[in-house]
Amino acid sequence: MRKKRGKLVVRHGPMWSDKTTWLIAQMADLPSLAFKPSIDNRYTDKAVLRSHTGAEEEAVLVDKHKPKLLWDKVKSGRVDRVIIDETNFFDDRLIKVINKIISSGIDVFAAGLLLDSDRKEFGPTKKLSRMADEVIEGRARCDFRYANGFCLSPAKYTFAKAKKSGQLVVGAADLYGAACEEHYHLLHVTKEKNGQWLNRLRLPKRVKLTAEVKTYLTNLKLPYLRRPLKFSESRFPRIEVGADTMRVGKTTAVKVLGQELKSRGLPVKVSFEDWRHNPHLTKSYKDSSLAILNSQKWFAKRKYEQLHLGAKKAIWIQDVHPEMDFCYALTNLILGRMTLKHFKDYAEYFYSFDWAHLPAADALLYLTASDEVVIARAKKNLRPFETIENDYFIVMKRVNQAWLAGTKYLLDVVVMPVNTDNFNFATSKGAKQKLAKKVLKKLAELGWRY
């Protein structure tokens, strides 16, 4: 009598999504035989399945190039269930082996990474998922941490913390972490790959770049020009405030910080975004590429003047860093509100300033919010002359975060991301004090203890 075909259950997910823990749980109620690739020696060299938490079950080590050995072991023994860990380390020959096992009436429970840390298909896990009777998609906790807590979005991607020599590099928490869609590109970036910012941009599908603009952007370098200052007790720290986009609370944060630090008896000098004196700003919202060019040039010059002035005898707090101004102009190019000719003119003007002799911030307070909150606040708080579509805010957020991803490699500045979705420092006294305490704590870590 022909045996009933076994079933295939596949669980996939990023690092830290409890794949091995799940496999170990499947071994509890039936005679099982577990396998894992011998290359996986992250936690132990013993022949065991071992989870990140330390749980263990006996397993057979198999050369990743010889998955046929699984079948040899299975057919020579009495087993009702086969467990396979880290399917991503094997090649496609594993598929043929698993087909033999389930054809013999034995269930297979397998787990592995679907994608590598570059989000490319990794091993046969995806193909196994397509042929599986059941697929379980696991999630981990996102490693991105705001100044006011961890990201709460589930992580679906693995990111690398350092440059790798190839796709198959075995590592644990020393090399890999987990990230959600929003923060993957902020966590997974290396100095060597920073020039590929366009690949991390994640534009909405409805936003289309012309071939000419895309070619230009492929070669465009984002600005990381200012010189970092070394800590010195003889000088005061420099703080700058940036954000995903408009209306997230940058100016409010500058005001609050200034007031809270002064209330503690500290000398503070604040510098606000000088939009009221920009003679081209109102016209720039009437979809005039030339007006946008003139407005962005005005902001670049004004920001250079503000940062050049600085403050020698006080804590300096700058509203909107100059690189964010550059990202505003870039957003207008991507959305077609600014012609390529005018953006090239702007970029040449921006880079004509001697940014390299201006100091970078010691700490960048970066305000962020979910897409839904960004749009809701923007629509609620727009100035009368600001006529802007929703895509403007989303694209601006993507551009600013693409720039932010390179700061830890190309601009020696400490970034303090603050999620403002449920953090109202505009009206809440407690939130104002909390914001100031977080900034002071970060300054203390850098050496300034007030």
Residue 158: CB partners within 8 Å, gap ≥ 6? 14, 15, 113, 115, 116, 117, 176, 177, 178, 179
Residues paired with 31 in a beta bridge: none
- pLDDT confidence bin for 147, thresholds 50/70/90: confident
pLDDT of residue 348: 95
Which CATH code is given to the segment(s) 8-138? 3.40.50.300
Round the average pLDDT of the chain to a whole number and report it: 87
Cα angle, residue 148 at apex, residues 146 and 149 outer, rounded to 5°? 65
With beta carbons less than 8 A apart as the criterion, state whether 19 and 11 touch: yes
With beta carbons less than 8 A apart as the criterion, state whether 401 and 203 touch: no
The whole-angstrom separation of Cα 161 and Cα 145 is 15
Q: What is the pLDDT of residues 402-414, one digit of tens each?
A: 898 878 666 667 7
pLDDT of residue 248: 84
- pLDDT confidence bin for 1, thresholds 50/70/90: very low
Residue 130: CB partners within 8 Å, gap ≥ 6? none
With beta carbons less than 8 A apart as the criterion, state whether 36 and 85 touch: yes
Map out the domains of the chain as residue ranges: 8-138, 190-446
Could you report how far apart the first and last alpha carbons of the chain are, in Å?
82
Residue 344 clears pLDDT 90, i.e. is over it: yes
pLDDT of residue 164: 67
- Joined together, the tokens standing for residue 427 give 């009206």
Q: What is the pLDDT of residues 159-171, one digit of tens each?
A: 988 766 666 566 5
The whole-angstrom separation of Cα 323 and Cα 304 is 11
pTM for the model: 0.75
Residue 31 clears pLDDT 90, i.e. is over it: no
CB atoms within 10 A of CB 422: 10
Q: Which residue has the tokens 């003047």?
A: 305
Answer whether 8-138 and 190-446 agree in fold: yes
The whole-angstrom separation of Cα 135 and Cα 344 is 49
pLDDT of residue 254: 95
pLDDT of residue 43: 62
Which CATH code is given to the segment(s) 190-446? 3.40.50.300
Q: What is the pLDDT of residues 193-221, one digit of tens each?
A: 555 788 778 888 889 999 999 999 988 98
pLDDT of residue 258: 95
SS (HEC) of the chain: CCCCCCCEEEEECCCCCCHHHHHHHHCCCCCEEEEEECCCCCCCCCCEEECCCCCEEECEEECCCCCHHHHHHHHCCCCCEEEECCHHHCCCHHHHHHHHHHHCCCEEEEEECCECCCCCECCCHHHHHHHCCEEEECCEECCCEECCEECCCEECEEEECCCCCCCCCCCCCCCEEEECCCCHHHHCCCHHHHHHHHHHCCCCCCCCCCHHHHHHHHHCCCCCCCECCCCCCCCCCEEEEEECCCCCCHHHHHHHHHHHHHHCCCCEEEECCCHHHCCCHHHHCCCCHHHHHHHHHHHHHHHHHHHHHCCCCCEEEEECCHHHHHHHHHHHHHCCCCCHHHHHHHHHHHHCCCHHHCECCCEEEEEECCHHHHHHHHHHHCCCCCCCCHHHHHHHHHHHHHHHCCHHHHCCCEEEEEECCCCCCCCCHHHHHHHHHHHHHHHHHHCCCC
More confident residue, 213 or 383: 213
pLDDT of residue 41: 66
- pLDDT confidence bin for 190, thresholds 50/70/90: low
Q: What is the pLDDT of residues 233-248, one digit of tens each?
A: 999 999 999 999 887 8
pLDDT of residue 2: 45
Say which range, 46-60, 81-95, 430-444, has the weakest mean pLDDT.
46-60
CB atoms within 10 A of CB 356: 8
